[in-house]
Amino acid sequence: MSDGKSLMVDTSRCTACRGCQVACKQWNGLPGTKTKQTGTYQNPPDMSHETFKVVRFAEGRGENGKPYWYFFSDMCRHCLAPGCMEGNQKNEIVQDEKTGAVIYTPATKKLDYKKVLAGCPYNIPRQDPKTKQLFKCTMCLDRQRANLIPACALSCPTGSIQFGERDEILKKVAARVAELKQTHAKAKALNPDDVRVIFIVTDDPERYHKYAEA
């Protein structure tokens, strides 16, 4: 496989506009999710077989006592060595040779969902309760094959989500982390050597999301 593609998700630039979340729904033809107010701006509350991306909202108080409010545009990380593929039997889950995107085929309905989910350190795969087929982000492989960038990256107004060749994205990630460290000592990239969707945070990862870092 070539070095493939990658996405940088810089949480310091995210304004929680949820444009990426809506663009993902729109491009993939996914229906809206009926929800109710649960005391948070996060909506819907989690991913599902009909929601591949959720902007997570987290708030609390830091070590200095000051409140924080963090946004985390959660999605499949498209791991270089996907743990979810360990449950594969006959290529129900495949990895695109050109881009590295991890794709769930309709045949995933034959897999043990609990085993697939357990293999993902980021808690991403979701199952359709009716068909038993598994779903998640495809890194917009169909758009890539048409020489278009993923819908989430296209829709991001602040440049928080950027897409490109993996080696170029890794350079951007390193440069951005170095820049952020000047004002945020805890700035870091999450698992950049293991995933294609690389998140940058400026505080402890668990403050953003329980499954932010493997």
Q: Which residues pair with 157 in a beta bridge?
A: none
Cβ contact 113:132 at 8 Å:
yes
Whole-number percent of the chain with pLDDT over 90: 90
- Residue length, the chain? 214
Fold equal for 5-78+141-207 and 83-135: yes
pLDDT digits (tens, 9 = 90+) for 29-61: 999 988 888 888 899 999 999 999 999 999 999
pLDDT at 102 over 60: yes
pLDDT digits (tens, 9 = 90+) for 120-169: 999 999 999 999 999 999 999 999 999 999 999 999 999 999 999 999 99
pLDDT digits (tens, 9 = 90+) for 191-205: 999 999 999 999 999
Q: What is the token pair recorded at 29?
A: 């033809």
pTM of the model: 0.96
Total Cβ atoms within 10 A of residue 112: 10
* Mean pLDDT, the chain, integer: 96
Q: Domain limits of the chain? A: 5-78+141-207, 83-135
Q: What is the token pair recorded at 144?
A: 């890539």
pLDDT at 96 over 60: yes
Total Cβ atoms within 10 A of residue 50: 16
Q: How far apart are CA 214 and CA 211, in angstroms?
A: 7
Name the fold adopted by 83-135: Alpha-Beta Plaits (3.30.70)
The predicted pLDDT at position 36 comes to 86
The predicted pLDDT at position 2 comes to 54
Cβ contact 132:49 at 8 Å:
no
Write out the CATH class of domain 5-78+141-207.
alpha beta
For the chain, the first-to-last Cα distance in angstroms comes to 23
Strand 197-201 versus strand 5-10 pairing type: parallel
DSSP code at position 138: -
